[in-house]
Structure 1
Amino acid sequence: MSDNIALTDEPRQLSDCCASLSKPLIDILVDRLPSQPSMCLSIGCGSGRLENYLLEATTKPLDLYGVEVPTCEVSALPPERVLRVPSTRSVHPAVKDCSAMLFVYPRVPDLVKSCMDEALAGVNLSRVIWLGHRSDWPDYETVLSSAKGTAEVVSGPGIAPYELLVVATFDS
């Protein structure tokens, strides 16, 4: 299913992915996502390109699903890896059972908050990963800090200078 372009150490913007992708970024994300049987959801996955890179890059079993609205073509993920929601503000029922959520350039802080509230009401959520433009972080920092947990700003090679990667960890 993959027609992925080979990634390098330098962040690269692809036409069907909001984030700038690089081999080190993929490695960082794979390292921070839990393996099976823990379920990971990428909320608002778009084309599914990033998620496809994650699934291809890992040697550990990764139970990763993209969540997207029906009008968005998720061309880079197999259909069995895609969960659908009726609208951009809808929370998929699987959120309550997931161990990790990934938000890449989310549009609405309230959706992140709703997903976190629903997931934290369950017992499995241990991690939320946020990747977006640095200028957007203040809107989301409040959301991630409102839940009991710790947030780590991850830096290093492979992350575009204008982007920020934050990993929030919660005790289960």
Structure 2
Amino acid sequence: MVDSELVRLSETAVRHSDCCLSLSTTLLNAITLFLDVGDSTGADKLLLSIGSGSGLLEALLLEHWSTANSELYIEGVEVFQPGSSSASQLLNRYLPEPNYSTVKGTWDLSPRAVEATALMFVYPRSPDLVTRYINTFARNGDGILQTVLWLGPKCDWSDFARCFEGIQGWKLRLADSKQTGLVDYEMLAVIHRQV
């Protein structure tokens, strides 16, 4: 059940109380552009957002893609909150139930990741969790994962950059801040599987 109305965005990045990341239509377009690469199979391309929190960014992307006739599809993943009959009631305020799932703890990997063509980490807390996802779904060379997005503060990048180093067959790109529409202290890193 979605209990919050989506905010309206403009091209200018603005902070919202329900999302760590500054949001803009420019950012939604940039994320879409980075995900819409490679061969189109005609099948939905699943973006799994690890640590989706309130689900605001993910719901905005879902809405953005629905109006653009996109093959992209998003699901948010968050840690299950004990004592709740429905974990989505505590954190998720924006994503519809089919677009949201939980894991057992901050150490747990989502089983949905095997079906994802892309992973997204927004203001992640732990480089170890990012590394576990990368090692499991990118370094082994098989699977359908094509893209990993990392969005967060520039000051955190030095802690997370090592997660993306030395992955054979993948290329790291630090996106230009003008292209992403993020505020000055935030950044977007993208790694793509090379064909």
Asked if TM exceeds 0.5, the reply is yes
- 1:3 corresponds, among 5, 8, 11, to 5
- 1:56 corresponds, among 63, 75, 78, to 63
Structure 1 position 137 matched with structure 2 position 157: yes
Structure 1 position 171 matched with structure 2 position 157: no
Once residues 90 and 146 of structure 1 are traced to their aligned partners in structure 2, the CA distance between those partners, rounded to angstroms, is: 24
Structure 1 residues 107 and 140, CA gap change in structure 2 (3 angstroms): same
- 2:22 corresponds, among 20, 23, 40, to 20
Which ranges in structure 2 are unaligned for 5 or more consecutive residues?
A: 82-89
- 1:146 corresponds, among 166, 169, 178, to 166
Larger radius of gyration: 2
Q: What amino acid does structure 1 have at the position aligned with 2:162?
A: T
Deviations 1:42-90 (A, max 9, x none): 0000000000110111211322100111225211000110111011121
Map 1:68-147 → 2, pairs under 5 A? 68-71=78-81, 72-120=90-138, 121=140, 122-147=142-167
Q: What amino acid does structure 2 have at the position aligned with 1:64?
A: I
TM-fit CA distance, 1:32: 1.7
Which ranges in structure 1 are unaligned for 5 or more consecutive residues?
A: none
* 8 A contact 2:171–2:194 mirrored in 1: no
Once residues 73 and 7 of structure 2 are traced to their aligned partners in structure 1, the CA distance between those partners, rounded to angstroms, is: 23
* 8 A contact 2:147–2:192 mirrored in 1: yes
CA RMSD of aligned residues (A): 1.6
**TM score, norm. by length of structure 1:** 0.93
**TM score, norm. by length of structure 2:** 0.83
Q: What amino acid does structure 1 have at the position aligned with 2:13?
A: P
TM-fit CA distance, 1:97: 2.4
Q: What is the percent sequence identity of the aligned residues?
A: 33
The count of corresponding residues between Structure 1 and Structure 2 is 172
